[in-house]
Amino acid sequence: MSRTQEIRPDIDDGIDRKVLAQLRARFLKVNSGRLERAMQALSTRQQLVLRLLPLLFHVNHPLLPGYISGLTPAGLSGFEPDDELLAEAQRLTRSFAYKARRGNPSLPIHGLFLMGSLGTVAQAEQSDMDLWVCHAPDLSAQEIGELRKKCDQLESWAATQGAEAHFFLIDPARFTVGDREAQLTSDDCGTTQHYLLLDEFYR
């Protein structure tokens, strides 16, 4: 079996587009494999939770899990649900009809990242789903409050499906300077350092 050649660009000299494309392709391949392994170890209902989460942050429908109000920020950057996922959502509520966003709509959710041991050799039957919800830095305090309530609702819904999920609101601009928005929990007890969290993210 041939070993993939290591790419070590000199950051000080910049990265050309070809190397950047190679790095991106490898990143996506590794993460696709991790997601596939994670799914294999989850129950059918837990798989449903993981599959639906991007859609639930992309749309704001009163009959879907996690709905708080019409003011809750919704719209996941770079995401477009396929027919299979929409069929899953319609099995939850038959009246749901997806309307694709037209023009250049606001997409306040910049990324949804699954963290922790899922999809790695450390994954166990009791592994929970830790997710970073990276949002636009210009959200108001009210909008952040709405988004936090949505995350709480989704944690409760996931629990009804046999999945333990934890969501952490992350403002990337503030996080880069070490300021975190996420409230501390028993899993995140205040002793975890900023760089350890970054290490977890990039792993």
Q: What is the pLDDT of residue 135?
A: 96
144 CB-contact burial (10 Å; exposed 0-12 / middle 13-18 / buried 19+) = middle
Domain borders along the chain are 16-96+107-202
The pLDDT of residue 132 is above 50 = yes
- Distance CA(171)–CA(91), nearest Å, equals 33
Read off the pTM.
Answer: 0.78
Q: What is the pLDDT of residue 86?
A: 96
pLDDT tens-digit profile of 172-190? 887 766 655 544 444 554 4
Q: What is the pLDDT of residue 182?
A: 46
User: Which backbone phi and psi does 92 adopt, to 5 degrees?
Assistant: -75, -45
Which of 7-21, 46-60, 114-128 is least confident? Answer: 114-128
Name the residue with tokens 């037209």: 102
Which of 83-87, 97-101, 153-157 is least confident? Answer: 97-101
The pLDDT of residue 7 is above 80 = no
- Distance CA(111)–CA(103), nearest Å, equals 20
- Distance CA(103)–CA(110), nearest Å, equals 18
What pairing do the DSSP bridges indicate for beta strands 165-170 and 109-115? unpaired
pLDDT tens-digit profile of 42-67? 889 999 999 999 999 999 999 999 99
Binned at pLDDT 50, 70 and 90, residue 76 comes out as very high
Decide which of 60 and 19 is more confident: 60
The angle at the Cα of 170, spanning 10 to 12, to the nearest 5 degrees, equals 10
